Amino acid sequence: MNQRIKILPENLANKIAAGEVVNRPESVVKELMENSIDAGAKLIEVFIKNAGKNLIQVVDDGFGMSEDDAVLCIQRHATSKISSIDDLEAIKTLGFRGEALASIASVSIFELKTRREEDELGVFIKIGENSEIIKEKDSCSKGTSVTVKNLFYNIPARRNFLKSNTTELKHIIEVFKRIALSHPEVSFKLFNDDDLVFDLSQQNYKERLKSVFGENIIDITIEANEITDYLSLTGFITKPAYLRRSKGEQYLFLNYRYVQSRVINHAVFTAYENLMEKGDYPFFVLFLAIDPKRIDVNVHPSKLEVKFDDEKEVYSFVNAVIKKTIGSYDLVPIVSFGDKDSNKEALRFNSFASTDRKDFSDRPVAIQNEQKKSGPFFSDNDIDQLFENLNREFNSTDAGSGSQHPFDSVQKEVYHESDRLTSAASDTPFIVLLHNKYILSQIKSGLMIIDAHVAHERILYEIALQSFEANIPFSQHLLFPQTIKLDPADYQLTKELEPYLTNLGFTIKFKPKSIVEIIGIPSDLKTDHESDTLLDILHEYRKNQLEKQLETRDNLAKSFSCKAAIKAGDKISENEMRILVDKLFATSMPYVCPHGRPIVIKIPIQEFDKRFGRTS
């Protein structure tokens, strides 16, 4: 016979398949713990010896199996979790492929004990070194116990590839933590060489998080919670002050299954925008819930990969929720002076202020309801009333207000260099422009300092992004159009960017010999500098393109906001300052500018008291 193709023996096929499912002791722990959860266990105990190389045992108090099911469960493609194509398209259990136990049994000395509640005796199954199956009746507790000894004893090459005990144990603990985090309603215990490493009782999500990562984890995280009919996202993300240098502390659970998704990770990382420096990563534990019919987890035997039917929509949802979560907390850094008795008088940054969700009281504007970004801003008159305009003249109503302050009938004068600012009664919150750079404002906890330029940058950046989304340009036509002669490269770049520039509010005509005519400009742009601003935007765009490889819209929005914002040294009126502050805190991220510079800092009143020797 010339037949060269053969069907492999089942034991050899199992060993080959095991390479995809079981590549180290961690894989065995994962598969066995997931089986226990699918079996309805309320207590799962994991025993490890020699980092899983000598022994892995997982004991649960789940449903248990009948004798017939126990014999079948160690066969390839044997499972109780799906039975049809329809089931495969809407998977609701952690396991479903029917490969794990057969793969594990083929590369170890395998023992299984199991008993259902209604059975008087359980069943004991052992697969030894010669692959012979031993089956006996046995007295055992309700549930299932799986023991895996001498992993990869019959595949020396694979066993030689295992790392040190420290490394393998680290992987086991990591997979244990993942499963424990996703199922706080289950009690877990982990023993390593007879030492109890974890003892987790049934808990809620917050308590389980503290048990796994330590008590202080709640202090450095923010809770995310967004429930919709299509998608839901809950969990905890790190505060920007506690970004980490480790890329491995991101935990994503899709329908309570731990998965790895570059799409979701990128959505979260992008939401932190410029709060992260290069090399920083946010810690997070997130639970994403979606209709099982809209995802595919049958991508790889490890079941760690996932595909979404609408990846873009999921990305946008996660990104928006994380941005909203970060933005709903007052994460302004607090600045304090060095110790009075020390020789060092330098300012230092403390941790971000802890503020409850939706508490905007410690800001220059006491906005009690969150304003939607898409909603209109206050008019000048509204702003004046909201802030109790400091420049108002006292009228008969003020005089008859009943206040007995000795300076009620007089305006106090406050001088800054040659600029003269006026203030109303001393109990009115003040707002001052310092050196035509910084806005100083009294707040509940002390003093808030705002960099006017970067605050305006943040506002213009978000307006630009909204303009791109809305695709409805608003332009103010110039009385006298401006003509600019560009170099050929800038002329071509302007042509490429014309649709985006139009959305921003620029109206441009292209003429021969690299000449452009500016007919209209964005309503937020000051006149008299149209030509220079357009050139600055083009040059900033090129710079970002070379250094940061930003996406076109993001690059142009950042370039526009940087060059169109008020500059250090520009004088702005008190009313303009108030409007600027109000618009800043209506943005999604009022704490950093689009380039990552801080916008706001606070100095607590206690720091002033300390410097002036006050004791009360």
- Kindly report the CATH number assigned to the domain that includes residue 256: 3.30.230.10
> Looking at residue 557, which CATH number applies to its domain?
3.30.1370.100
Q: Please identify, among 304, 327, 350, the residue that sits at the C-terminal boundary of a domain.
A: 327
Q: Please identify, among 327, 350, 369, the residue that sits at the C-terminal boundary of a domain.
A: 327
DSSP state of 354: P
Q: Are residues 148 and 263 in the same domain?
A: no
Q: Are residues 142 and 277 in the same domain?
A: no
Structurally, how many domains does the chain consist of? 3
Residue 361 pLDDT exceeds 90? no
pLDDT at 164: 93
List % helix, strand, coil for the chain (3-state, nearest 5).
35, 25, 40
- Joined together, the tokens standing for residue 543 give 């710079």
217-273 confidence digits (pLDDT tens): 988 889 999 999 889 999 999 887 677 666 778 999 999 889 888 889 989 988 887
Q: Are residues 199 and 225 in the same domain?
A: no
Q: Which amino acid is at 410?
A: V
Decide: 267 and 318 in contact? Cβ < 8 Å. yes
> Looking at residue 47, which CATH number applies to its domain?
3.30.565.10
What is the residue range of 301's domain?
220-327
More confident position, 208 or 161: 208
- Joined together, the tokens standing for residue 13 give 């096929």
pLDDT at 189: 97
480-522 confidence digits (pLDDT tens): 888 988 888 889 999 999 999 998 889 999 998 889 999 988 8
Among 152-166, 371-385, 442-456, 535-549, which is the least confidently predicted range?
A: 371-385
User: Rounded distance, CA 508 to CA 530, Å?
Assistant: 11
Among 133-137, 191-195, 290-294, 407-411, which is the least confidently predicted range?
A: 407-411
pLDDT at 604: 87
% of the chain beyond a pLDDT of 70: 73
Q: Are residues 47 and 177 in the same domain?
A: yes
Is residue 385 one of the residues assigned to a domain? no
Going by C-alpha positions, the residue among 537, 547, 548, 550 that lies closest to residue 493 is 537
268-326 confidence digits (pLDDT tens): 988 887 677 667 788 999 999 998 888 876 555 565 788 888 888 999 999 999 988 88
pLDDT at 236: 95
Decide: 259 and 307 in contact? Cβ < 8 Å. no
Is residue 398 one of the residues assigned to a domain? no
559-589 confidence digits (pLDDT tens): 988 888 888 888 888 888 988 988 998 887 8
User: Which helix H or strand E contains 137, and what residues bound it?
Assistant: strand 133-138
User: Rounded distance, CA 480 to CA 519, Å?
Assistant: 8
List, in sequence order, every residue forming a beta bridge with 114; answer none if it has no partner.
123, 144
pLDDT at 402: 40
User: Rounded distance, CA 78 to CA 71, Å?
Assistant: 10
% of the chain beyond a pLDDT of 90: 31
User: Which helix H or strand E contains 314, and what residues bound it?
Assistant: helix 311-327
364-412 confidence digits (pLDDT tens): 543 333 333 333 344 444 434 433 333 333 333 343 434 333 323 333 3
User: Rounded distance, CA 184 to CA 251, Å?
Assistant: 15
Decide: 28 and 104 in contact? Cβ < 8 Å. yes
Q: Are residues 225 and 293 in the same domain?
A: yes
Read off the pLDDT band of 72 (50, 70, 90).
Answer: confident
List, in sequence order, every residue forming a beta bridge with 122; answer none if it has no partner.
138
Q: Please identify, among 526, 541, 564, the residue that sits at the C-terminal boundary of a domain.
A: 564
Q: Are residues 94 and 129 in the same domain?
A: yes
User: Rounded distance, CA 342 to CA 345, Å?
Assistant: 7
Q: Are residues 193 and 251 in the same domain?
A: no
Is residue 388 one of the residues assigned to a domain? no
pLDDT at 420: 33
Is residue 583 one of the residues assigned to a domain? no
Is residue 151 one of the residues assigned to a domain? yes
For range 16-32, the mean pLDDT: 79
pLDDT at 123: 95
Q: Are residues 176 and 248 in the same domain?
A: no
Q: Are residues 16 and 130 in the same domain?
A: yes
Q: Are residues 174 and 33 in the same domain?
A: yes
Is residue 547 one of the residues assigned to a domain? yes
Is residue 415 one of the residues assigned to a domain? no
Q: Are residues 290 and 164 in the same domain?
A: no
- Joined together, the tokens standing for residue 540 give 């900033």
User: Rounded distance, CA 146 to CA 156, Å?
Assistant: 23
400-452 confidence digits (pLDDT tens): 434 333 323 333 333 343 333 333 333 456 688 889 899 998 888 888 899 99
Q: Are residues 59 and 118 in the same domain?
A: yes
pLDDT at 79: 60
pLDDT at 85: 53
Is residue 260 one of the residues assigned to a domain? yes
